Amino acid sequence: MKLPTRVKIVDVGPRDGLQNEKQPVSAEAKIGLVQRLQEAGLREIEVTSFVSPKWVPQMADNAEVMHGIQRQGGVRYSVLTPNLKGFEAAIAAPRDEWPDEIVVFGAASEAFSQKNINCSIAESIERFAPVVEAARAKGIAVRGAMSCTVGCPYEGDIAPEKVGYLAGLMKGIGVQRVDVADTIGVGTPGKVQRAIEATLAHYGIDAISGHFHDTYGQALSNTLASLELGVWNFQSSVAGLGGCPYAKGATGNVATEDVVYLLHGMGIETGIDLDKLIDAGVYISEVLGREPHSRVSKAIRTKRCG
């Protein structure tokens, strides 16, 4: 079995990780986190979300954050834009503050789609068509986040055919690459591989990334299962930021530190300095007043103390 020799990671901590935090996190702290992530070698960072502050107050400082980050060459900065209004807000700033990529989203579960945005999967993707068209016309890349690809809090197991259906809809509106996301962290390796295989009917392996939550402790196993299929793009969150709203007290996004340790241990290059990454996780965790949700971080920091 030939595994990828190099992996690229999108750190989603500043956006997906922080958006559900109850306590306000300052723009300065978010900018500081982005700075530390890129200094650690991250080449893709999901920075913020251009959504209504009524729904996601934590992201109300989106323009301030995009203005404040010190961009580095070779780093791709992405933002979530759920509608045309959000996209227009994302490009209202000067050109050098625009995102390099926008993210749109859709669920592989009809029940999840209906309960969260009151429309069918097909209707939800159709709503994104003008957003995708507008972004690509401006030379901005488009990524599609496919949620609930292996399990749903309302429907239970999700058939691979539903994942393929969603991927086909996203391809149809011009989404360039997609994330196969286990939103509630119930997936196991075989289920994740089937979801990826269904996506491969519409996208090449280079345009597919894995996004795994660690609610049931399966995220690293699912990462390895994805690598076995040739997937070399992954999303994770520094310090394991981002809880799972459907499993009280459970961890959400897998920690970037843990994924990087796994990859480096397998001889797979990431371009990331693990020590600097751990320090970035400590930085934002101190802002939040808690310990990083990363076993690797804890182990290495304990070792540092002798």
Query: What residues act catalytically?
Result: 244
29-88-92 Cα angle (round to 5):
65
CA 2 to chain centre: 26
Tokens of 24: 């306000």
To the nearest 5 percent, what fractions of the chain are helix, strand and coil?
45, 20, 35
Q: Looking at residue 4, what DSSP letter applies? A: P
Helices (H), 45-154: 62-68, 84-90, 110-117, 121-137
φ, ψ (nearest 5 deg) of residue 160:
-55, -30
Tokens of 266: 């397998």
Residue closest to 191 by CA, chosen among 229, 153, 165, 154: 229
Residues 34 and 181: their CA atoms lie apart, in Å, by 23
CB 256 within 8 A of CB 13: yes
What would the DSSP string read from start to end of 76-111?
EEEEE--SHHHHHHHTSS-GGGS-SEEEEEEES-HH
Residues 246 and 286: their CA atoms lie apart, in Å, by 25
Tokens of 223: 């990462």
Q: Could you identify the residue written with the tokens 């996209």? A: 87
Amino acid, res. 53: P
